[in-house]
Structure 1
Amino acid sequence: MINAVMVGLGWWGKHSIEAVKDKSEKIKIIGACSKNSEQHSAYLKKNDLIIYKTYEDALKDKSVDAVILTTPHTTHTEQIIAAANHNKHVFVEKPMTLTKSDAIMCVEALKNKNLKLGIGFSRRFQPAYIDLLKMINDGEIGDLLHIEGEQSGPSAYKLKEGMWRASKKESPGGAMAARGTHVMDAMISIAGAVEKISCISERRVLDIDLDDTTSMLMKFKSGISGYLGTIYVTADIWRLHVYGSKGYLLMDAETRLVKKTLDNKETVINYPNANIVGLTLEAFADDVAGKATFPVTTDEAIDGVAAFEAMVKSAENNNNWISLD
């Protein structure tokens, strides 16, 4: 079992703590810190967690194997480099960074110390997604032609001026950082790196200065085309639709998979809910322990950030197609 510290105690940090507390034999969160750790002292004491006043204090604790970063996106690069300098493995919430150059720097810093990187792409652990990927790899829908995906929901209505997630600096592309990046990661895991991208991202409803309606077209280096949409002010939806020359596979919810073949025969599989946040953290722990490789490769992590950065650049430049290096 590895010992980890939660860095960031917003709702997602606490949700992540509870996803493994008294449930995992692979990872134990022994303490936490935030910019105002003392304000969370009641919660931390209730959960028998060490209160670290600063991130530096947590990094200096030799009993800590890894840090889990649920912090503002613009802080990730500095925090990952600091963790590497203190020989700590890193699990970071998505997006890892906001620029490809920072992503490469973080990956190299960890690699140079033989440290592991995990990223919070929890949808990789949905049983429906795992089966979808296997069916694709087994050739059940033939040659891949096109992928469409969406993750949307109403969470931006909860954002208020002054919250870090309500800042364009932290959340360029509206819901892309919070939601759409999960779909981008799934697409990259299937189609490979993005070659070019064109994005429209606008504020249509919100009172705060944050985009709420974002969509993009993509061409992957593999030749596959794609579309991704992420809306911050509508009802919840997850959709991943993979078209092949022999049929298609459709996740029209996180726990439902549809397969349709050329003869119009349709197979529907419903799955139980899974503790995907806990499974993601346990997969990271397995990688640290040398038992299994984390499913998101460092190349895929960098490719995802590169696509994110290109998406933002396109939206800021009249939706022009942006080619990735």
Structure 2
Amino acid sequence: MAKELLLAMLAPRHQSVAPLLRAFRNPLHVTSCRARLDELVRFFNWLSGRATGSVQQITTRDCEAYLAHRRYVLDEDGVVVGEQSHGTRRSAAQVVVDLVNYRDLFTADRVPAELRPWGGVTASAVAELPSGRDENKTQPVADEIMQPMLAAALYLMSTLGPQAVDLAHKARESDLHSARRAQGIRRVGPKNRVPVRELSEILAEYTRTCTALPMLDDHYISKRLAQGWAEDDPLLPVAMGTLARRAGLSQFCHPWLPTMRPALEDALAQVGVGRPFGRDAARSPQPTEQRHCAGPCHCPGPRPSPWSASSAPPRSSPLPPSQACARVS
């Protein structure tokens, strides 16, 4: 029974678990399952001490007795000296609720079909947990904070989101050219002949399309300087490895540099060097440029952004629906 219960909590979408009306719909963490197992073992041991040989014999009185057993702290003489935490009481109630909720799953033994301990309420209610029943401990966010925050989030998703998706596609495409083991790449080394034709063709493509040569990240430039490159070398920031992989080669070997330097410097003089991303990025409209007037706009000057303090409505006087929709959109 314990094994069936834990597997059901780990795989709630299994064909044997999904039809259960009161089963958990999200898988529990292994740590949570371990805590459930510990409490289940504790409950079974308690039943054994009461000479209960099967869960089929459990009654509502047994459930209440176990909750009382786990609720109170007793001294050596059996006198109540305190109470356990809400979490301990909830665990004690939850183990019984689980046996009821997953009853139809168990094959060897199961609780009576008519068993409904504590009137069918949740374990949190049985344990008298204060949070989640009356109100949250954290008070709701004020309108003057929530509405600008939602407006800013909507702006990020609707205006900057599509550009972020496009940038992600370009980054993945760039990774294909940056990987040394990418498909179609020919492995080369310092002892190979200088691939003048392949590199010249890719440089000609850059100059023909007026595309800046790829630029190294700053830490790679620092590494080149540490290796002895001159600070005034025009090829210092050029990512020649990227050029080589775009030409179908696994790397740009340093011994090739004297041969390819004239062609590289000529291409650099024509198109320059630049970061691989954001060169032709579209200009995002500023929030102050967005207007949502129903008719001809006669608003003087730029309208404040929907998340600025001056545009937030007072809590005591909410905006009319039309203005609220316009401000959020």
TM-score (norm 2): 0.17
Higher strand share: 1
The answer to which structure, 1 or 2, has the higher relative contact order (CA under 8 A, 6+ apart) is 1
> Larger Cα Rg: Structure 1 or Structure 2?
2
TM-score (norm 1): 0.18
Higher helix share: 2
